């Protein structure tokens, strides 16, 4: 990778970059499929073939006619998921291979295997990993009769897991895990934490009876929202509706008016709000800004500052560099056995959706 050239491109005005990207897109036609996650900046989403959540995007790319090159504007685990679901002849390119999701990177395979050795004894345990995890962890779940969930179908995966086992081992997001467990009816006393930073995950005593063991991982962006932010909005905007993502802590989720995935948030604003409404949202700021630009007749605002820095690492300069070097740009590659087991877990998730 020519970093000097990337730095040069990153300095160019957005209009020029967008024009050059469009020109290549025109020349390449259906050969290239550009995907943009909902947390990407407006200029990027405007140029994309598909905008959506990570799972929806990967599915769209695999079904895209042509699409030899899939360029994924999002973080690394998303590009990996696209690789897992892509057709064999497709190539997946991630404009900044260093842009990982801090939460996904909080669970490494050796750490998870250490926990698993301990947790699989005694109770029949099903591992469930959130989509926001590395390909290794997805494969671990596939190999151990577990599955993957998104923030929209987490509850369904709990129902499935408890029909065939006594305990769920949920990773890597403690908060999505806890919010789902509580919604499923598990009492707080039946939930234990596995902290990978501590020897034997903190307190081995508590795992014996726990129905749900949560990996101590979190999204630094969604952790920023607090009950104080909610109280503040309630005080100064008493008519406003507050909607948050289930990666937020359970006290924030409890006090919000609505809780849901990025797609739920987008649909809520499109279908359930009208001109003059006030909506405060607890998720990544670019989704909020894009919605606010789309519906200028409503007040759509963030609950707190919430920029995802690694999402922000993807920019127009990087995308242009990727497109200008389609033949030589580093491919996202996943070892065959990891790919196989991760796909098993993803297909299991799909079969649960009926």
Pick 103 or 342: Cβ nearer ligand SF4: 103
Pick 308 or 323: Cβ nearer ligand SF4: 308
Q: Which of 6, 24, 59, 102 binds ligand SF4 (CB under 6 A)?
A: 102
The yes or no reply on residue 82 touching ligand SF4 (CB under 6 A) is: no
Q: Which of 82, 84, 311, 349 binds ligand SF4 (CB under 6 A)?
A: 311
What Cα–Cα distance (Å) separates residue 151 from each residue in 130, 237, 249, 340?
A: 8, 28, 14, 23
8 A C-beta contact, residue 304 and residue 285: no
Pick 103 or 107: Cβ nearer ligand SF4: 103
User: By CB under 6 A, which span of 55-63, 156-164, 201-209, 303-311 interacts with ligand SF4?
Assistant: 303-311
DSSP state at residue 29: G
8 A C-beta contact, residue 148 and residue 130: yes
Q: Where are the alpha helices (DSSP H) in 222-314?
A: 227-236, 250-255, 262-272, 285-294, 309-312
CB neighbour burial string for 289-323, b if at least 16 within 10 angstroms, e if fewer: ebbbeebeebebbbbbebebebbbebbbbbbbbbb
Pick 147 or 150: Cβ nearer ligand SF4: 150
The yes or no reply on residue 339 touching ligand SF4 (CB under 6 A) is: no
**CB within 8 A of 193, min separation 6: which ones?**
174, 201, 202, 213, 214, 216
The pattern of x and - marking residues 40 through 79 that bind ligand SF4 according to CB under 6 A reads -----------------------------------x----
Q: How big is the site for ligand SF4, counted in residues (CB under 6 A)?
A: 12
The yes or no reply on residue 92 touching ligand SF4 (CB under 6 A) is: no
- Of the CA atoms within 13 Å of residue 219, those in its CB half-sphere come to 27
Q: Which of 85, 112, 303, 308 binds ligand SF4 (CB under 6 A)?
A: 308
8 A C-beta contact, residue 128 and residue 147: yes
Residue 217 Cβ, how far from ligand SF4 at the closest point, in Å?
Answer: 10
Q: Which of 84, 154, 168, 219 binds ligand SF4 (CB under 6 A)?
A: 219
- Of the CA atoms within 13 Å of residue 42, those in its CB half-sphere come to 9
Binding site for ligand SF4 (CB under 6 A): 75, 101-103, 132, 219-221, 284, 308, 310-311
């Amino acid at each position: 990778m020519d970093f000097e050239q990337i730095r040069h491109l990153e300095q160019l005005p957005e209009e020029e970059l967008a024009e050059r990207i469009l020109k290549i897109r025109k020349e390449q036609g259906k050969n290239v499929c550009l995907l943009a996650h909902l947390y990407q900046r407006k200029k990027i989403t405007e140029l994309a073939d598909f905008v959506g959540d990570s799972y929806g995007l990967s599915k769209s790319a695999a079904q895209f006619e042509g699409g030899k090159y899939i360029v994924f504007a999002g973080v690394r685990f998303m590009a990996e998921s696209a690789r897992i679901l892509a057709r064999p002849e497709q190539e997946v390119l991630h404009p900044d291979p260093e842009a990982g999701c801090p939460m996904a990177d909080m669970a490494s395979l050796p750490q998870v295997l250490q926990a698993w050795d301990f947790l699989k004894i005694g109770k029949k345990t099903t591992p469930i990993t959130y989509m926001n995890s590395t390909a290794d962890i997805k494969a671990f779940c596939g190999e151990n009769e577990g599955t993957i969930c998104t923030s929209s179908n987490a509850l369904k995966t709990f129902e499935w897991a408890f029909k065939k086992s006594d305990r769920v081992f949920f990773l890597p997001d403690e908060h999505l895990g806890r919010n789902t467990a509580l919604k499923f009816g598990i009492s707080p006393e039946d939930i234990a934490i596995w902290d990978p930073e501590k020897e034997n995950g903190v307190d081995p005593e508590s795992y014996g009876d726990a129905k749900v063991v949560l990996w101590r991982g979190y999204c630094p962006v969604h952790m920023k929202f607090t009950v104080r932010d909610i109280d503040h909005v309630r005080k100064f905007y008493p008519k406003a509706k507050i909607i948050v993502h289930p990666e937020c802590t359970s006290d924030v989720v409890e006090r919000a008016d609505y809780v849901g995935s990025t797609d739920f948030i987008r649909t809520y604003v499109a279908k359930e709000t009208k001109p003059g409404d006030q909506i405060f949202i607890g998720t990544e700021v670019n989704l909020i800004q894009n919605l606010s630009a789309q519906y200028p007749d409503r007040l759509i605002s963030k609950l707190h500052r919430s920029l995802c820095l690694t999402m922000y690492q993807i920019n127009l300069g990087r995308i242009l560099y990727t497109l200008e070097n389609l033949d030589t740009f580093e491919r996202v590659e996943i070892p065959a056995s990891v790919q196989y087991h991760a796909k098993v877990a993803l297909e299991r998730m799909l079969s649960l959706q009926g």
